[in-house]
Amino acid sequence: MRNAGTAFAILIFAGLVTTMVAMQWYPAILMRTPDASGGRAHIIWEFQINRVADSALTYYKNALENTSSTLQVTGSVRKDAYEKSAANLIENILVHNAVRAEGLEDAIEALIAKKVDEYAAQPDFSVAVSLIYGLDNSGFLELIARPEAERDILKEKNKWDDAALAAWIEEEKKASRIVRFAK
């Protein structure tokens, strides 16, 4: 009876591990932001990176189809989309922490409401977001609208242009501890 219990426990554990790998529920990046930005630890999961990369690839494919281009989505393009998506998620976390540290969450919500709500009420908006990015409304808000609004508010508050924001993000990246796991 004891061997059967052990075998059952091993089978359950193997099933959980298989499910985690299949659903991409494993960390891809561990990150600790600088103490000046709140010093928070973050885990970026594999499925998050793939979700952003898939959205970018959908956008890229649609752009190629609309321009009648002969370019194709190759393995190197997919790898590049994955890497840029991971970098983008890291940058979004840094910007979000700065917005949170400065107490600008209400301004973010107001800017999102101003920019998106007038379009979101239209029935074609959901279809357009789905066709262009491969996302639903909540995915669009989470992955595209909110990070852009946070960047806009941070630039406005600090009176930065795009170059100053990019320089600040690079400084924050250098001051952060980022551990990337190999894919």
Instruction: Please name which of 9, 89, 76 lies closest in space to residue 47, comparing C-alpha atoms.
Output: 89
At 170 the pLDDT is 94
Task: Please report, to the nearest 10 degrees, the dihedral formed by the alpha carbons of residues 144, 140, 127, 80 taken in order.
Answer: 60
**Ramachandran category for residue 74: left, alpha or beta (phi over 0 → left; psi -120 to 50 → alpha):** beta
pTM metric for this prediction: 0.82
Please state, as a whole number, how many other Cβ atoms lie within 10 Å of the Cβ of residue 166. Answer: 12
Residue 167, token pair as written in the block: 């320089």
Give the up-direction half-sphere exposure of residue 49: CA atoms within 13 A in the CB hemisphere: 26
DSSP per residue over 41-102, as a string? EEEEEHHHHHHHHHHHHHHHHHHHHHTT------HHHHHHHHHHHHHHHHHHHHHHHHHHHT
Confidence of residue 65 (pLDDT cuts 50, 70, 90): confident
Check residue 182 and give its pLDDT: 67
**pLDDT value at 1 more than 60:** no
